[in-house]
Amino acid sequence: MQKLRLDAELRILACVHNTRQAAGIISLIEYFNATRLSPIHVFSLYLVELTGRAGALVAAHMEKPGGQPGAQNLTRSQEELESINSIFGAFREAYDAVRVETLNVVSAYATIHEDIYNS
């Protein structure tokens, strides 16, 4: 960070397992004091343990239309992803100089570091 130009975008990879960690990461990111001259781009990775698949899965968060049928049938992992996306979405709305992308990473814990690196 010392060699980063003042007018350069700071990119942050934030890996979280739950909403409490997402709130903590946002508190930390707020201290960077993003401005239009020095914006921040946050790549939020929601990490989920892989079960029953041969390979890792990385998926971008997709907005659902309001009142979509079947929304009450979300799994715990999907609910957690929605909550994390809401937290980072509110953060994005509060700061003009912050861009946020939320990704869901489903991977085995033994190789999750490789999947994070590849993301």
The DSSP line for 85-111 is HHHHHHHHHH-TTEEEEEEEEEE-TTT
As averages over each run of 10 residues, the pLDDT of the chain (119 residues) reads 79 91 92 89 86 54 46 66 89 92 84 82
Answer yes or no: are the C-beta atoms of 63 and 23 closer than 8 Å: no
Q: pLDDT value at position 65? A: 44
At 80, which helix (H) or strand (E)?
Answer: helix 76-94
Grouping H, G, I as helix, E, B as strand and the rest as coil, residue 19 is helix
User: Is the full-model pTM beyond 0.95?
Assistant: no
Q: pLDDT value at position 105? A: 81
- What ranges do the domains of the chain cover? 10-62+75-118
CA gyration radius for the chain? Answer: 16
Grouping H, G, I as helix, E, B as strand and the rest as coil, residue 54 is coil
